[in-house]
A and B are shown apart, each in its own frame.
Chain A
Amino acid sequence: MKGKMKLSVAARREENWGWIMVAPTIIGLVILNIWPFLQTLYASFCEHLGFGFYKFVGFQNYINMFQDPEFWKATWNTIYFCILTVPVGIFLSLLVAILLNAKVKGKGFFRSVFFLPMVCAPAAITMVWRWIFNSEYGILNQMFGAHINWITDSKVVMVTCAVVAIWSAIGYDAVLLLAGLQNISKSYYEAAEIDGAGKITQFFHITLPMVSPTLFVVLIMRLMSSMKVYDLIYMMVEDTNPALSSVQSLMYLFYRESFVAGSRGYGSAIVIWTVLLIGIVTVIQFVGQKKWVNYEV
């Protein structure tokens, strides 16, 4: 037997067409993602002098970064934001998905309602939430006669942002989970009912294991986007806000360093750190999933 498999002419032609077909995506990926990533990596070892002129400074940006309390605060803020938003968000999405999967009247209407936040511009959404949360004139404080500084109290502001983040993400996650739920064959439930299993037992022994692959995908995506949170916080908390340091995420810090202060080298170092952080978390998740994700149908 020969070690190499020989392809027929037809098969090779098919292979070439395969390459041509994926070329647009691959080229786009290289030009738009991989090349800028390499540039960012290089920039993180440089000092930005202005207008795209860089000076190589070795690890100086990283040394400065690890000595900066503001950076560690931003790292913690990012992790804290994930802790607040991801578990609650995914739990609520699953709940919504199950409710939308049930036999209720006006199912289509509710599905669109929950998906609506996804369609609206994030900036517009945040503007409305800011009015709701306004401590003096906002509807929330007016309704409850309270005087909570939702956006400017350093202890509360992160929770406020988390509420808005969860609210805007539920619809999207729920639709993904809904698709997962609908793939579960009815026969499992019928068999379980004959065996006398209750609704709760059915949920834990049929629904949850069967939807776990989708749940895993949603978890990874939600965690990644939570670690990259920027626009929401940027819109909610301006730089005149005394609570900024309690809510400033890594990406917000990166924006302020790179584009407000012009230190793009330092900003790039923050980005590389965030990429590492996301990488570590994702690896942990992939190792952990073996314990709870069920791929058998």
Chain B
Amino acid sequence: MKKIRPMAAVILAITLFASLSGCGASDGKTHLTFQIWDVAQRDGMQAICDAYTAQHPDVVIEVQVTSWSEYWTKLEAAAESNTMPDLFWMHTNQILYYSDFGKLADLTDLYNGEDPNYYTEHFSEISLDNARGNNGRLYGVPKDKDNICLVYNKEMFDAAGVAYPDESWTWDDLTAASAQIHSATGKYGYMAYADEQLGYWNFVYQAGGCILTEDKTQGGFDQQATKDAMKFYIDLQKNDWCPDQAYFAETSPGTAFFSEVGAMFLEGNWNLMAEMKDYPNMQGKWDVAVLPKCPTPVSGDGRATISNGLCYSTSATGKHLELTKDILKYFGSEEAQRIQGEYGAAIPAYNGLEESWISAFDQFEAKLNLDIVIDQFDYCVQNVNNTSRPKWKAPVNDELIKIYSGQVDFDTGLANIQSIINNASAASSN
């Protein structure tokens, strides 16, 4: 009796191990995973996948959501060990890094069978640029396009007797209105905080400056236009009507706005749907407007808004590469892009489907002036990006915070930012 026990233990262990390693699909279907970072878009993505699997019953696609901050840590680890999800979203911040290392499948010839000019016929040049690698090849199918608009509280404008923001607004109107609202209501005016895409980038390009030079090898912080715009933007926090960076470290401008303590902030159009849903009591009290223009631009007409776009990608070494490419082909089709628009989170990258995004807001009684978002695409600037962007993003932000808190003076801080970008860009081009 006693001798049997160790044997039994060993057998038990072996069966356990076997059953663990045998965990796999046994329904004869191909199971794929689709990794995204925005929980607000889960339903839209699931709907597109369902539309595909309805035509291909032998495929099952599971949409997985990871938070933005964990998404890139996870994806990079997966890329290293060759276990990337079958389908995933790609962001302009990272696409050059991933494509330079050959992690993404080349999708340039995806539609050659149907129409060799498919991409250029249906997607804007900016959308395609957001999906390109350094070598000009496409590593993603354009998913959406976005830009930044000015969100304002109508009640506060009414209370202060200030006209709502419109196309004629310049930076001077922005500051004047903020001051008036603050003195009339005691609320904050325009809430300017240390953010790139939702903050100073827009102002820099409106002034005719740049964050990266045209060839993407150098920073633009040594240019006078950039310096002036940065000075204007950073100094906004010195006004009584704008909270300081310490305040924003605890309370985001969005939270402050929808708690009705501030009158204006810059918002990406992709958040508007969620904000309508999350703050039902605020519906009808706020609206969106075009960004105010720079009154004295060094070049251009003073108008700019940062436009970014995501794309759908797949791994270059995926096990089901042919299948995932076929799915991506569907994701780029008019039908799939329309489904995405109808779910309201993002504007489809596919040209001519902008209305589908606007129509998603028909469910609300309160209306937003969403046409201005579409109009802004006429003068939008591509989201700033180069290969070393993941390397300089955080250090540049740290340096900006130091300028805000007075740890370095403005000129030194900007010079430091310039050298951080230049050094990182030079290192990655070797």
Contact status A256-B394, CB under 8 Å:
yes
* Chain B contacts with A in 1-49, Cβ cutoff 8 A: none
Q: Provide the A203-245 mask, 1 if CB < 8 A to any CB of B, else 0.
A: 0000000000000000000000000000000000111111111
B contact residues, range: 20 to 34
Q: Is A110 interfacial (CB-CB < 8 Å)?
A: no
Q: Of A51, A149, A151, A261, which is in contact with the most chain B CB atoms at under 10 Å from its CB?
A: A51
Q: Which residues of B contact A149 (CB under 8 A)?
A: 246
Contact status A240-B73, CB under 8 Å:
no
Binds A, one of B226-234, B268-276, B395-403: B395-403
The answer for the CA separation of A50 and B101 in the assembled complex, in Å, is: 8
For residue B392, which residue of chain A has the nearest CB?
Answer: A261
* Chain B contacts with A in 159-203, Cβ cutoff 8 A: 193-195
Q: Which of A137, A237, A256, A263 is in CB contact (< 8 Å) with B251?
A: A137
Q: Which residues of A contact B195 (CB under 8 A)?
A: 240
Contact status A151-B250, CB under 8 Å:
yes
Contact status B246-A51, CB under 8 Å:
no
The answer for the CA separation of A263 and B393 in the assembled complex, in Å, is: 13
Q: Of B194, B246, B393, B401, which is in contact with the most chain A CB atoms at under 10 Å from its CB?
A: B246
Contact status A134-B397, CB under 8 Å:
no
- Identify whether the interface residues of B are mostly helix, strand, loop, or mixed: helix
The answer for the CA separation of A91 and B33 in the assembled complex, in Å, is: 51
Contact status A51-B76, CB under 8 Å:
yes
- Given contacts A50-B101, A52-B80, A240-B401, is CB(A136)–CB(B250) below 8 Å? yes
- Given contacts A240-B245, A242-B405, A261-B394, is CB(A134)–CB(B103) below 8 Å? no
- Identify whether the interface residues of A are mostly helix, strand, loop, or mixed: loop
Contact status B249-A151, CB under 8 Å:
yes
Number of A positions contacting B (CB below 8 A):
29
Give min CB distance, B347 to chain A, whole Å.
Answer: 27
Q: Which residues of A contact B393 (CB under 8 A)?
A: 260
Q: Is B352 interfacial (CB-CB < 8 Å)?
A: no
Q: Which of B79, B251, B391, B407 is in CB contact (< 8 Å) with A245?
A: B407
The answer for the CA separation of A50 and B249 in the assembled complex, in Å, is: 31
Contact status A135-B407, CB under 8 Å:
no
Contact status A136-B401, CB under 8 Å:
no
Contact status B250-A130, CB under 8 Å:
yes
Contact status A241-B401, CB under 8 Å:
yes
Q: Is B300 interfacial (CB-CB < 8 Å)?
A: no
Q: Of B195, B248, B249, B401, which is in contact with the most chain A CB atoms at under 10 Å from its CB?
A: B249
Q: Which residues of A contact B193 (CB under 8 A)?
A: 240
For residue B243, which residue of chain A has the nearest CB?
Answer: A136
Contact status A136-B194, CB under 8 Å:
no
Contact status B395-A261, CB under 8 Å:
yes
Give min CB distance, A93 to chain B, whole Å.
Answer: 30
- Given contacts A51-B80, A260-B394, A262-B391, is CB(A242)–CB(B404) below 8 Å? yes
Give min CB distance, B111 to chain A, whole Å.
Answer: 29
Contact status A135-B250, CB under 8 Å:
yes
The answer for the CA separation of A238 and B245 in the assembled complex, in Å, is: 12
* Chain A contacts with B in 111-154, Cβ cutoff 8 A: 130, 134-137, 149, 151-154
For residue A150, which residue of chain B has the nearest CB?
Answer: B250
The answer for the CA separation of A171 and B45 in the assembled complex, in Å, is: 45
Q: Provide the A258-271 mask, 1 if CB < 8 A to any CB of B, else 0.
A: 01111100000000
The answer for the CA separation of A52 and B79 in the assembled complex, in Å, is: 9
The answer for the CA separation of A37 and B421 in the assembled complex, in Å, is: 33
Contact status B73-A135, CB under 8 Å:
no
* Chain A contacts with B in 18-44, Cβ cutoff 8 A: none
Q: Provide the B83-112 mask, 1 if CB < 8 A to any CB of A, else 0.
A: 000000000000001001101000000000
- Given contacts A239-B398, A240-B193, A261-B394, is CB(A51)–CB(B249) below 8 Å? no
Q: Is B247 interfacial (CB-CB < 8 Å)?
A: yes
Give min CB distance, B426 to chain A, whole Å.
Answer: 15
* Chain A contacts with B in 247-290, Cβ cutoff 8 A: 256, 259-263
Q: Which of A153, A244, A259, A261 is in CB contact (< 8 Å) with B401?
A: A244
- Given contacts A136-B251, A151-B249, is CB(A242)–CB(B391) below 8 Å? no
Q: Is B116 interfacial (CB-CB < 8 Å)?
A: no
* Chain A contacts with B in 149-166, Cβ cutoff 8 A: 149, 151-154
Q: Of B73, B100, B250, B393, which is in contact with the most chain A CB atoms at under 10 Å from its CB?
A: B250
Q: Which residues of B contact A263 (CB under 8 A)?
A: 391
Q: Which 8 A-B pairs have the closest CB atoms?
A: A242-B405, A152-B246, A241-B249, A52-B80, A260-B394, A51-B101, A152-B249, A51-B80
Can you show 27 pairs from A to B with CB atoms below 8 A apart? A50-B100, A51-B79, A51-B101, A134-B251, A135-B250, A149-B246, A151-B250, A152-B246, A152-B249, A239-B394, A239-B401, A240-B194, A240-B397, A242-B246, A242-B249, A242-B402, A243-B246, A243-B249, A243-B405, A245-B398, A260-B393, A260-B394, A261-B390, A261-B391, A261-B395, A262-B390, A262-B391
- Given A135-B246, A238-B249, A239-B394, 10 more pairs with CB closer than 8 A: A51-B76, A51-B79, A151-B249, A152-B249, A240-B401, A241-B401, A242-B245, A242-B401, A245-B402, A260-B394
Chain B residues within CB distance 8 Å of chain A: 73, 76, 79-80, 97, 100-101, 103, 193-195, 245-251, 390-391, 393-395, 397-398, 401-402, 404-405, 407
